[in-house]
Structure 1
Amino acid sequence: MICWETPLAERMRPSSLDEYVGHSSIIAPGTALRSHLERGVVPSCILYGPPGVGKTALVRLMASVTDRELFEINAVSAKVSQLRELIDQGEKVKSMSGRSVVAFVDEIYHFNKSQQNALLPAVEKGDVVLVGTTTENPWFEINKTLLSRLMVLTIDPLTEEDLVVLMSRALEDREKGLGSLELSWDQEVLREIALSAGGDGRQALTRLEYLARSVAASGGSHISLERAKKDLPRASVRHDKGGDNHYQVISAFIKSIRGSDPDATIYWLARLLDSGEDIRFIARRMVISAAEDVGLADPMALMIATSAAQASDMTGMPEARIILGEAALYLASAPKSNRAYEAINSAISDIESGAVQRVPDHLINGNRGYLYPHDYRGHWVAQSYLKEPKRYYFPSDSGYESRVLARLKRFWRRFREGSQKDS
């Protein structure tokens, strides 16, 4: 019997592979995983993806369509003793039926090293089929020894079309869904909800149920786009300041600056600000980008980024968005050079590898032989500053740095004879 207090997303979980929506690259007919399941085989694996995209639903289908027992455990609250008990039960089932149970560990990245190690023997011998789900990158969060025994399947956010299919089914389903409310709807409503759900099926169904029940409670029979915009809260933006999305969005922001795309830059900045990201963190990354990616192609970039960091910290949000936006657009539009970044990295690499030079005698205070450049025409005089000359800096011909290269060519033969990096 259906409990109507159960959330719509839970009630609408698929009961067969054909009902499962989305992720055609891994579960559509003809794919490797689908073929395995149809032959009764479940691979030990990790399902990696954001919340609400069907990981748990897929695990349960894996067990049901292959007619295997499913043991579920939550990594947040599980103890090693519970894991061992689960493994013992799995071994007993296998000894009696000849088939391994599916051990479903939700949010497996919460397991510490000893907990993960407790699973190793059972997985290696096939006493249990381990299927874990995680919203965090398994290559960083799961022990390499355990990971080497598992397949990692990436579950991407659901597409707009996937979400529209899910919601249409829910509105039509009289047994588990919202069909008994006998509502009609504009197709644009479903697309509006899909856009606001950020690829999260659970969020889309939750928002749909909230809207549908609101319409029904007020005596209405039609879900209009106007009603949806009035009743639904703001769009759901997927961004966890401590998780993968945090790093993915800041990475997209910095790479857009590096790639000189001001439109993408301002979009990703808006995403960061809208999610409540710390403006000091954003400003620090912009300062780093100014030095690393713009460099001496435009020395003003570092000054502007540093000023923006100070000014945004002084004003706070919401005004800081204007300051950070201006600075981000400047960095994205500026000429680019990473030659200063490469120069310091190359020098540090030499030192770390043992190439430590002694200071030339004439550069040591109190010693004779040092030539004071300001006493000479052009404030320069030929003399050595390293015991063993080594080229680290290769100016580009981008922006202001082309002028830097021209000046150094006038002074140093090595910049005339080998001005390019590969010389």
Structure 2
Amino acid sequence: MGEAYIRGLFKTEASWRNMERMNEELDLSGDGQQRLQQFISDSPWSASALISDIAVKTSAFYASQPSYQCRDVGYILDESAHLKKGKQSVGVARQYAGVSGKVENCQVGVYASLVWNTHSTLINTRLYLPESWTDDPARCDKVGIPADQRTFKTKLELAREMVQADLKAGVEFGWVGGDGFYGHGLELGEALDEMGLSFLLDVHCTQQIYPFKPQLQVPERTSPRGAAPTKRRADVEALRVDAYAQQLLPCQWQTVTVRDGTKGPLKLAMHVRRVWLWDSEAETPTQRTLVISRRLTDNKLKYSLSNDDAITTPIERFAYRQAQRYWVERAFQEAKSELGMSDYQVRKWLAWHHHMALVMLSLSFLVKERIQQTASCPLLSARDIRLLIIAMLLNDPDAVDRRIAQMDIRHAQRRKDIERHYRENDPDSANDTG
């Protein structure tokens, strides 16, 4: 049934991957739809064991590649929302959905991706349960949330759990990344410090920094008896990172080529320096490295904080790591459009995790195929592979040949577009597009 479910994910088109449509594509026996439903909703197989296996094998597969270096592998944390109707599906609530940029009725999963070079696959997940769920035992009972999973946990706590679990399982990576939600404040960064992990976490433009180490002072005036203790203050005012960036001179930026892209080389203007953070509560300021990049095409700025040393770490490494979240976004897009990551129609805790585990297994297969076929087919996409698999499942050699011919035409056009972009943006590299 696991194989059948995955075939259903591949064969059924986006927004139609419910049990009824999948059963039609699979042509199972008369009770096929019920068997699929039982397999995904009630069968006791372990989603967590499968997900852990995906993580370990993805890590090992990356490590087997000729150009592999562990420091280049990122463990990137992100969340993804799945829009839903009604109030019965596990974890569903009115909450912010990044997919639409506003508050929606949705489920939110916190995910970990293992990113290497230009490849990313999902290797872990936790379903976020709002307090409206964890405070309602009857609601938890109805969807089968295990007793040990009913304690409210923030998304940062869920992210930390995943990092610890994958480290324990033997997953190898050189650094941890995340968007501004995970980089905001000191909590996750300090936890990663304690684990001995290198990180580069994005921050919002409102992030407060001290360009120089502040001296913390206690006002000489003592508090009246019984009053709250007088808080310490810094001897200088903190500065927003966007305000700091506006003060930079042209000579304080360094242009770095991150990688070759389909629209020409990705070049960023980079600025890196040591800064300090203080939340008015900590005993001492925390030292971090501020990483700012500016896209040369539109001057868009991106801000990150890292615990790597600003002096000894090559600026190219900071630029590479900061640009890697792009591939995580691509992985989510492929999982949703090609594999039905958000198309499920299930309500229970077990069903949600079963579905996600099988989607992640399918995505890891697509990533592995793309890497293995790089030399012979460098422009191979997730959709190319999926369409070929559908043709192969028809047991019709002519259908496979037609798909390959169509793919060759698409790839030829893409190569022409890539070469044109290189001629326009970097004439010296026009002959190096591969």
Q: For this structure pair, what is the TM-score category when the shorter chain's length is used for normalisation? A: under 0.3
Higher RCO (Cα < 8 Å, 6 or more apart): 2
TM-score (norm 1): 0.24
Give 1 or 2 for the bigger CA radius of gyration.
Answer: 1
For normalisation by structure 2, the TM-score amounts to 0.24
Q: Which one has the bigger helix percentage? A: 1
Select the structure that is richer in strand. Answer: 2
